[in-house]
Amino acid sequence: MSLRMTKTVKFTKMHGAGNDYIYVDTMLYDLKHPEVLARRWSAPHTGIGSDGLVLIGRSATPEADFTMRIFNADGSEAMMCGNASRCVGKYVYERGLTDKTEVRLLTLSGVKILRLEVAGGVVGRVTVDMLAPRLSDARFYVPGLDIRQGVFVSMGNPHYVIFTDDVEEAGLEGPLLERHAAFPERCNIEFARVLPEGRIRTRVWERGSGITQACGTGACATAVAACLTGRAGRSSDIIMDGGTLHVEWRQADEHVYLTGPAEFVFEGEIWV
């Protein structure tokens, strides 16, 4: 299929639990400078409005079926996004780009396996194998703020999970913690409160995007941190502003599995 030489690009707006991105099929469009387009198109008043831009491509390697690149609203490139991954699974299946219900997606943090739940040709929920987390015992102090004891978890991108009774504090401390000297590549910050029956209320300050309605890797990091500290078991429902995601940290393979919805919002064309 040849690329279209045009000044406009067709895009699809999708969200997973409220975490919304602009999706473009790069098998049809060759986008130059996606970091610039992510900033312009993500703007809420002068652009489309989103948490960032996702580029979907066909994989050139046999290990994967498709590729995903993610650019945050500030133009920085992200390593991985669980919510975006689920949306890509829905996109490629319902757009007829694959008939597989198990899709291998190449990201900057490796190949992720997407398992699609399909009924009547429509993808409902998607489970993503997020692989095994990487852990650290990092602790630090932010001048001018209370001492924050957190748990560092990497889900292919860095997360620092803080357990607190006031999850609304993310709006105050998120930007300071994101750029703390302990995190030379900046960090995603989770504020979490453990509730009864395996539920955890979580808000996320996403690196490069600020407060978002949901964060898939953030949900995974929160569940892992809660299990590590004895606050929860290996299976948790993570309640975020935009919806609830289910996370299971399986003992059999130590992989983290993220399950949640993926939804189309609208389609359109925009000038490049």
Class of domain 8-130+260-271 as given by CATH: alpha beta
pLDDT in tens, 96-154: 999 999 999 999 999 999 999 999 999 999 999 999 999 986 666 655 555 467 899 99
Q: Hey, which bits of the chain come out as E strands?
A: 8-16, 19-25, 52-58, 66-72, 77-78, 102-107, 110-119, 122-129, 134-136, 150-154, 158-163, 188-195, 199-206, 210-212, 235-240, 243-249, 256-261, 263-271
Catalytic residue of the set 81, 87, 187, 227: 81
Residues making up the chain, counted from first to last: 272
Decide if 187 is catalytic.
Answer: no
Residue 36 host element (H or E):
helix 34-42
pLDDT in tens, 71-85: 999 999 999 999 999
Terminal-to-terminal C-alpha distance of the chain: 21
pLDDT > 90 in the chain, percent: 83
Selected residue with higher pLDDT from 179 and 48 = 48
pLDDT > 70 in the chain, percent: 92
Q: What is the pLDDT of residue 150?
A: 84
Q: What is the pLDDT of residue 140?
A: 61
Q: What's the CA gap between 255 and 132, in Å, rounded?
A: 4
pLDDT in tens, 177-186: 898 888 889 9
Decide if 215 is catalytic.
Answer: yes
CATH entry, 134-254, from 3.30.230.10, 3.40.30.10, 3.10.310.10, 3.90.470.20: 3.10.310.10
pLDDT in tens, 58-69: 999 999 999 999
Q: What is the pLDDT of residue 212?
A: 92
Domain ranges of the chain: 8-130+260-271, 134-254
Same-fold call for 8-130+260-271 versus 134-254: yes
Chain Cα centroid distance, residue 1: 29
Catalytic residue of the set 87, 215, 220, 227: 215
Q: Percent helix, strand, coil in the chain (nearest 5)? A: 15, 45, 40
